[in-house]
Structures are given as structure tokens and as C-alpha cells.
Chains A and B, each alone.
Chain A
Amino acid sequence: MIRILLNRLWQTVIVLFGVTLITFLIMHSAPGHPLQANPELRLDPTAVERWLELQELDGPLPAQYLSWLSRLFRGDFGMSLIYNRPVLELALERLPATLFLTVPAFLLALGLAISCGTWAALRQGGFGDRLLGLGSLAGLSLPSFWLGIILMMLFSYGYPWLPAAGMRTAEDSSVLDILIHLILPLTMLVVGSFSYYFRYVRYAVLAVLSQDFIKIARARGFTELYIVFRYVLPNASLPIVTVAALSLPLLFTGALVAEYVFSWPGIGRWIISSTLARDYPVIMAVNLSTAALVALSNFLADLLYLLIDPRLRFKA
């Protein structure tokens, strides 16, 4: 078990190293000066100057890479070329708004998916199962930005019930006001991730249902409800926990499109506008930290696997 973990940890370290290298190389293969690329961009000239000077100071490419890496280790992600402020500070400012949107969306989508997925799997091939199956396939096929636009057209303009943009009406508005602003972006996020989790859960539950111990439990006359909670869900939890762990990075950046469409003042919208404006230090930091988060949550998923499933521990 320790050996497997060390092996995974080693692989994660390699991946993290690769990610820094690739992110660095992508940025440095960018042609030209960020200001020359598009003069209309709202970049701060002094910030750009300082950024270029910093590169000059570091000298040749490998030296630049190493000094960038050492700055990263000290928690210095550079300064935004638009705001002329530290990238980390800008990200942390926006984090609460993003979490306020993504955490409820994640919990809602996963909760719905686990209940609907289990329900559908128990009625495999039935009408409800087929309907949910087709519906989730359709949900996966919906372009999220289009879904957002349609929701906005229906509920903000067609029937002006819900606000189309932002997080609050005034600076000092109530919690209720924020919750009302939350409905549309939340719906948009939940539709997509529910469809994805639903298919996953259903598949996981079906795999358990085909096992012999379920037949035996049924033969012993246990109620269906008992079987589901005592046998099916604990056994299906392994893949479900994996997919949940792998979605954790999405809590920070998953709302890219939703935040952009509904002008939600979180990290996602900032990432998009920084990318469009070619704010290189931000782009670099964001790509790097997202990729690193994914790599770490992969590792976390492996850890959870070992914790949940005793068989894996003994096999190792």
C-alpha cells in the first residue's frame, strides 16, 4: 500500500513538473510584445514594462524558467498586466463569489445524480430510466453558453422574473437578493454536471447490481430499500467518490462559462477576460494552478480509493 502511494506521489510530482515546463514554454513561444499584439487592450504599460524587465534580468530561457519556478515556490505568481497588482491577491478576492456559485451547484448536481442515477439503475430499461438516459444525453449535448443565453432570454427578458447579470443589485443588498441572482447561473451549471454525474452513477450502480451478493441479498428477502442502502450504495461509492474528487478543481474554475454569461464577479469571468486581454502572468498562473489542482485531486482520488476499499489495501 505504501509502495503504491509513493509511486502515485512520484507520478504526481513528475506531472506537476511537466505542467510548469509546458506552461512556461507555451507562454514563451507567444509571438512579440504583449502590447504590440493588440494595442487596444487595456494593459497597464508600467506593469508590462516591469514584466519585460524582469525577463531581461533573468537572462536566457532556462534561467528565466528557474527563477520563475523559485518565485512560484515563494507564492509569487507575478503581477497582473491589467490591474498592476499581484495575481494571487486578485484571485483570492474573487474566490468567495466563485465558491458561492460552484459549491451549491456541485452538491445539488451530485445529490440529484446519486438519487436519480440509483433510481434509474434499479429500473434498468424501464420508461423512467430511458427517459432520464436520453435526457442526460441531451443535457451533455447542450452548449453551456447557449443554455445560459436561453435561460436569460426566457426568465430575464421574456418573463422578467430573474436578473440577467451580476451578483447583487446594490453594494449593500440582502442575502435574498444574491440568492435571486444565483438562480440562473446555478441552473446552468447544474444541468451540465447533473447529466455527467447521472450517467456515471447509473453505470456504477448497474455494475454493483449485477453482482452475486445482490442476488443473494434479494433471495434472503431483504427489502429493496435495505439492499440499496446496505449493499448497493456502499459498493457503488468507489467510482462515485472518484468522479467527485476529480471534479474538485472545477469548484474553482468550473464556472468559467457560467460566470462569463451571467457576469458573475468570480474567478471564471476574470480568467476569461484576462485571457482575452492577453494578461500573460494571469494566464500562466491560472493554467498552472488549475492543472496542478487536477493533478492533486487525481492523487486524492487514489488515496480515497485505498481508504474506501479494503481489498485494494490487502492486494498491495
Chain B
Amino acid sequence: MVRRQGVELYLGISLIIFLTVFAVLSPLFANYDPHQTDAERWLQSPGKEHFFGTDRLGRDIYSRVVYGARVSLAVGILAMLLSITVGTALGALAGYFGGFADQLIMRLTDIVLVYPTMLLALTLVAIFEPAIWLVVLVIGGTGWPAVARLVRGEIMRLKNLEFAAAARMLGASHRRVLLVHLLPNALGQIVVAATVAVPAAIMTEAGLGYFGLGIQPPIPTWGNMLREAQNYIRHAWWYATFPGAAIFLTVFAFHLTGEGLRQRLDPKSQSGRERRAYDH
């Protein structure tokens, strides 16, 4: 069977670069101050002056969407770093040492995994006051078990290969075998997990914002813009359309990249998430 290499990877990475440039250089791309209200021009439809129209306070939606990219990407990447770090560390320890450590870590993983992310995130943010660091902590703190499982499986597979045994026999310490020999070989899988973790975090952050529990106004985020917009959807189609489209585009970009990477790393599994590894 002939298989062409997909365009997913290139399309995804180009989109991510494009969005990152917007986020980093927001002041250059925004033609208005995102906080500048204008009592005369509220709920104006998109036009030459306001590309995406204005919101209920006359603020420029395009500029707010551009600035919103900062929050979304920052939250997405920070939460991803947190879940990847914790997940890799715990997964590697569990996979390498096995035994009691493995049992302990895996049961903890199971416990966190059975909570539906959105519900747990809502609960935690509702109980404590919503703040940017809490949102990152909650999303990262619920995202690590999937990574831990993946890394654990990889390490368990790798540690039984000859090169790991050879390294041990040459006198390398456990730490050295794990850090220098095993983890670098699991890097591909970890990178794929990272490209899945970012869009998941962005989606959760937007969802929290939509329910009014994310990062609070006046900081413009795509989620809290959607929340404001939902009372105006009857009259102002642009209000909800553009922030939502921005979420979609960003999440899509990361999914495309993840899919492209997966195709390249593992030609057999052209599609699909990792199979649920419940066989430990």
C-alpha cells in the first residue's frame, strides 16, 4: 500500500508559528488598545476600521482576539510543561524501578485519571478564587497522568533492550541509565504527548473562561470573550464567532502537528490516540 506523507505536520507547524508571532508581537498587530472602550461604537459589525467588529463596550474585538492569543498560548504551554515534567518524572520512575514505587505511582495516576478534567477543573477553580496561576496549576495537575502512563510504558519497553543492559554492565548508575540512555529514546513519544497536552489545556482554559471561572476580565481571553458574547448572539454574530474561531484554529494547529508527528514516528498507527494502556 502506497502512503503519501501527510501535509498535517507542515500545516500545523506553520499555523503554530503564525499564532505565536501574533501572541508575542500583539501590540504590533492590534490596531486598537484592547481595553479602550468607546461609548459611541458599541456592537458595530465588522468593517474597515474594526475588522472583527466591536463588543458591548465598544472595544475592538480583533485587537482583543490578538491579545487573547497571549493568554491562551501562555496557559497552554505552561500547563503542558507542568504536566509533561510531572508525568515524565513519575512515569519514568514507575517504569524503571517497578515494584512498590510502580504500584504507588500508578494507583495515584488511576485516581486522578478517573476525575473528568473539566468537572475537576471547574470544582477547583470555583472553590478557590480564579487566577492565572491556579488555572495553570489545575490544568497541568490534571493532565500529567496520561503522560505518566505513556512514559512508563516506553521506559518499561526500553529498559529490557540490550543497550540498557549493556550500559548497566559497563557500570552506569541507575540515574545515568535512566537520564542518558532511556529517556532520550522516549523523547519522541514525549514530544507527541506535549503536542496533545497544549490544545487540551487551551480548550480547558477557554471552557473555564466561558463558565466565568477562568482568567477574569479585564484581561481579554478567548473564553471570557465568549462568555460576554453569549448574551448578544441574537444581534451580533461577530461577537462570539471570532474568539471561538481563534480557539478552534489554535487547537486545530496543535492537533495537526501532533498527528503529523505521530505519522512520522510510528508509521503503523496513522491515526488515533495512544491505545489505552491498561495492561499493567
Q: Is A124 an interface residue (CB 8 A)?
A: yes
**CB neighbours of A298 from chain B (8 A):** 110, 114, 278
In the assembled complex, B48 has its CB within 8 A of some CB on chain A: no
Q: Cβ of A203: which chain B residues have Cβ within 8 Å of it?
A: 269-272, 275
Chain A residue numbers with a CB within 8 Å of B193 are none
A301 neighbours in B (Cβ, 8 Å): 278
Q: How far is the CB of A214 from chain B (nearest CB, A)?
A: 12
Is A169 an interface residue when CB atoms closer than 8 A count as contact? no
State whether A26 touches B123 (Cβ < 8 A). Answer: yes
For A210, what are the chain B residues with a Cβ–Cβ distance below 8 Å? Answer: 268
A135 to chain B, nearest CB (A): 11
Is residue B161 within 8 Å, beta carbon to beta carbon, of the partner chain?
A: no
A residues less than 8 Å from B199 (CB atoms): 141
A199 contact from B122, B127, B273, Cβ within 8 A: B273
Q: Which of A53-61, A97-105, A289-297 contacts B (4 or more CB under 8 A)?
A: A289-297
Q: Is the CB–CB distance between B119 and A153 below 8 Å?
A: no
Are B244 and A19 in touch, CB under 8 angstroms? no
Find A140's partner among B113, B226, B255 (CB 8 Å cutoff): B255
Within 106-127 of B, Cβ neighbours of A (below 8 Å) are at 107-108, 110-111, 113-116, 118-120, 122-124, 126-127
Instruction: Report B105 CB to chain A, min CB distance, Å.
Output: 13
Determine which of B6, B115, B251, B273 lies in contact with A290 in the assembled complex, contact meaning CB atoms within 8 Å: B115
B111:A18 contact, CB within 8 angstroms: yes
CB–CB A149/B244 < 8 A: yes
Evaluate contact between B128 and A200: CB separation under 8 angstroms.
Answer: no
Binding site for B on A (CB under 8 A): 11, 14-15, 18-19, 22, 26-27, 29-31, 124-125, 130, 133-134, 137-138, 140-143, 145-146, 149-150, 152-153, 157-158, 199-200, 202-204, 206-207, 210, 239, 242-243, 246, 249, 253, 256-257, 260, 271-272, 275-276, 278, 283, 286-287, 290-292, 294-295, 298, 301-302
Q: Report whether B244 and A283 are in contact in the complex, using a CB–CB cutoff of 8 Å.
A: no
Say yes or no: is B185 at the interface (Cβ < 8 Å to chain A). no
**Contacting B226 at CB < 8 Å: which of A15, A29, A149?**
A149
Taking the closest CB of chain A, its distance from the CB of B242, in whole angstroms, is: 10
A275 contacts which of B123, B251, B275 (Cβ < 8 Å)? B123
Shortest 3 CB-CB contacts between residues of A and residues of B: A203-B272, A146-B244, A141-B252
Query: Which B residues are closer than 8 A to A by beta carbons?
Result: 1-4, 6, 8, 107-108, 110-111, 113-116, 118-120, 122-124, 126-128, 199, 203, 206-207, 210-213, 226, 229-230, 233-234, 237, 240-241, 244-245, 247-248, 251-252, 255-256, 259, 268-273, 275-276, 278
Closest B residue by C-beta to A250: B116
Closest chain A CB from B47 CB (angstroms): 19
The contact of A149 among B114, B230, B256, B275, by CB within 8 Å, is B230
The answer to whether A202 and B272 have CB atoms under 8 Å apart is yes
Interface residue from A133, A145, A294 paired with B116 (Cβ < 8 Å): A294
Task: Give A201's nearest chain B residue, CB to CB.
Answer: B272
A-B contact pairs, 15 of them (CB 8 A): A11-B107, A15-B110, A26-B127, A29-B127, A30-B128, A125-B2, A134-B8, A137-B255, A146-B248, A149-B229, A153-B241, A157-B234, A291-B111, A292-B114, A298-B114
A220 → chain B, closest Cβ, in Å? 20
A124 near B270: Cβ-Cβ < 8 Å: yes
A184 to B122 CA separation, bound complex (whole angstroms): 24
Q: Tell me the minimal C-beta distance from B223 to chain A in angstroms.
A: 9
Measured CA separation A134–B40 after assembly (Å):
43
- Cβ-defined contact, B111 with A143, below 8 A: no
Closest to B227 in A: A145
- When chains A and B are docked, how far (Å) is the Cα of A71 from the Cα of B230? 40
